[in-house]
Structure 1
Amino acid sequence: MGVYMLILAVMDMYIGEAYFWDGIGYEWRTSYPCQIAGFISLLSTQSSVFLLTLLSVDRFIAIQFPFSRKRLGIKSSRISVAIVWAMALILSVTSLLLTQLELGAYGLSDVCVGLPLIRKFSSVYSEIDAYTFSRFGQTTLNYLASGTASTWQFSIAIFLGVNLISFLVVLFCYAAIFVRVRLSREAVGQKNKIASEVKMALKMFFIVGTDLFCWMPIITMGILVQTDVITLSSNVYAWLVVFVLPINSSLNPFIYTIVERVTK
């Protein structure tokens, strides 16, 4: 995510005011640097989502079945993490290849992330501007659209499909964990057994909670936008991508450190 933000910062300094005055906006959104930035951003966000899902399921199994040996060990953890990164890499490469079929898919916004938070115009047509013609006798055309259509289907499937399912799994796991912890307080024989697992669950709760705080508003707004219930401005889109998602990645290392010291 840091590399993604660095690319945006460098290109912003390089393009500057020419983005608007010289009309370079479209060239930037369809350029290779923009596609690379979108690739890196998707790799970062999806690996984070998949890793959190994996960690939540592992904590769920450890606390729900404290005496079971069916949990992640050192070897299985390495294999699982490798699979997670492979899945995120495959999705990122697939998205990059699909942009060759649907040019400008990463260019849905100036920050090169194809979040499904906007809809594209459909059935665009032109008509003569009656006011200009009657007032000045000049013929000018206005370009209008009869409606809107959903944006990139791949983006909708990933951000509103896969990620929503992942976070629903995470919510279920932690809801079950807290129910288990509450009931286990009455079981003297198991109280000490799961004490260390409960501490680990509390650590993960803070980490997962920040991800949910960042992602669930985006998923919710994405669903509302694609169902044509609300419309988001380009400014809101940019703030969500440049501020909300990166700040989550920036906070995670500090959360790991702080929670580790507090729960010792």
Structure 2
Amino acid sequence: MKRVPDCRPTTDQFSSCKDLLKREALRILMMILGITALIGNLAVIILRLLENDFNVQSILITNLAVSDLLMAVYMIIIAGVDFYYRGVYATFAEAWKTSFLCSFAGSISTLSSECSVFILMLMSVDRAVNIAYPFSSNLLNRKRCIITVVIVWLVVIFISYLPMFNHLSFINIPYFGGNYYGRQSVCLALPLARDRLPGWEYAIAIFLAFNLFGFFVIAVSYISIYISVKRTASSVNRNKGRAGEIKMATKMAMIVLTDFCCWFPIILMGIGSEVGAWKLPADIYAWSATFILPINSSLNPYLYTIAYKCNIKKKPPTQTAIKLRLVRPRPLPP
């Protein structure tokens, strides 16, 4: 196979003349994260469906797993294309970035990340309301949860796929230009640079403004949980159900915290770039988009497993077991 020795100008922050992902470490990590996210989230979805216990938290966790599964599909697509064009990427760079597959990969990445933020908001607000107002008539029951989740998916699907409508011959939205997701080799529209390309306001509104608002809501929810728990910590009248809600909120905090740790640095870097506080080196941009952003999709299913294992309690002995224990004959004296 022919190799591309050099090219001018160089492609972008992620790629080189030879490869879509120029850093060997990023290439390996993306494949590992993609496979672990695929296996872990598929396992979570299958186990939740087999359990057939669709309470509010189970519905939200299942949908979060579906969202994280989409990020696994994105990572596997990018890793696969990188492998396919290994050594000759510059020759096919323009064809790849303008392709439908690149736009599709960028769309499902946006769909996954934004849907995760939406669902994390729902989980956090639901825990806060259940703990602060356990007898309220406005609690999120199963029917309300399903309706809300369906609306969330429809809204985020529309937001994510709107920029790629230009690939359809009968639709043209000039605002996004001809290649919204294909400006980088990894098909992301993260606003981490000050390039004023078509649709840059849209990217800021989604990845910076909405995500910042989402994590603000999550922070307020957990602060309210903390305040509510402190107020009732010394109360002897706290019922068993309320204690269970607090325990569930503590377990869900692990998932929220990891997602926050992945997204918050990207939000800060995006804001800093937009206000001109700093100019990000290419390597930081590459690591943020291909490692920091998707890592929570790989970690979440294993955090669900930890939370699930911690929730398993030793069952009390049944009445039959108690009776058998009572009538068990004593050994005869020697």
Above 0.5 in TM-score? yes
Say whether residues 1:2 and 2:50 are aligned partners: no
Instruction: Report how many aligned residue pairs link the two structures.
Output: 235
Partner of residue 258, structure 1? 306
- Deviation of 1:14 after TM superposition, in Å, equals 1.6
Structure 2 CA distance, aligned partners of 1:61 and 1:177? 8
Partner of residue 37, structure 1? 105
Structure 1 CA distance, aligned partners of 2:184 and 2:194? 11
Structure (1 or 2) with the greater strand fraction? 1
Structure 2 CA distance, aligned partners of 1:243 and 1:97? 28
What is the DSSP-based 3-state SS (H/G/I as helix, E as strand, rest coil) of the residue aligned with 2:293?
A: helix
Matches within 5 A, 1:1-264: 1-20=71-90, 22=91, 24-97=92-165, 101=174, 102-120=177-195, 152-190=200-238, 192-264=240-312
Q: Is the Cα contact below 8 Å between 1:185 and 1:191 reproduced in 2?
A: no
Q: Is the Cα contact below 8 Å between 1:116 and 1:152 reproduced in 2?
A: yes
What is the DSSP-based 3-state SS (H/G/I as helix, E as strand, rest coil) of the residue aligned with 1:116?
A: coil
Unaligned runs of 5+ in 2: 1-70, 168-172, 313-334
TM-score by length of structure 2 reads 0.66
Structure 2 CA distance, aligned partners of 1:207 and 1:89? 23
> Which residue identity does 1:116 align to in structure 2?
P
Structure 1 CA distance, aligned partners of 2:242 and 2:198? 47
Moved over 4 A (4+): 148-151
Cα deviation, 1:134-176, whole Å, max 9, x if unaligned, reads xxxxxxxxxxxxxx78971110010111111011000000011
- Deviation of 1:240 after TM superposition, in Å, equals 1.4
TM-score by length of structure 1 reads 0.83
> Which residue identity does 1:106 align to in structure 2?
Y
Q: Is the Cα contact below 8 Å between 1:117 and 1:221 reproduced in 2?
A: yes
> Which residue identity does 1:5 align to in structure 2?
M
> Which residue identity does 1:13 align to in structure 2?
F
Q: Is the Cα contact below 8 Å between 1:211 and 1:248 reproduced in 2?
A: yes
Structure 1 CA distance, aligned partners of 2:241 and 2:302? 29
Change (3 A) 1:251 1:218: same
Percentage of identical aligned residues: 42
Q: Is the Cα contact below 8 Å between 1:118 and 1:151 reproduced in 2?
A: no
Change (3 A) 1:199 1:252: same
Structure 2 CA distance, aligned partners of 1:53 and 1:218? 18
Cα deviation, 1:166-191, whole Å, max 9, x if unaligned, reads 11000000011011111111222235
Structure 2 CA distance, aligned partners of 1:157 and 1:84? 17
Unaligned runs of 5+ in 1: 121-147
Q: Is the Cα contact below 8 Å between 2:164 and 2:180 reproduced in 1?
A: no
- Deviation of 1:262 after TM superposition, in Å, equals 2.4
What is the DSSP-based 3-state SS (H/G/I as helix, E as strand, rest coil) of the residue aligned with 2:192?
A: coil
Structure 1 CA distance, aligned partners of 2:180 and 2:282? 16
- Deviation of 1:193 after TM superposition, in Å, equals 4.5
Partner of residue 3, structure 2? none
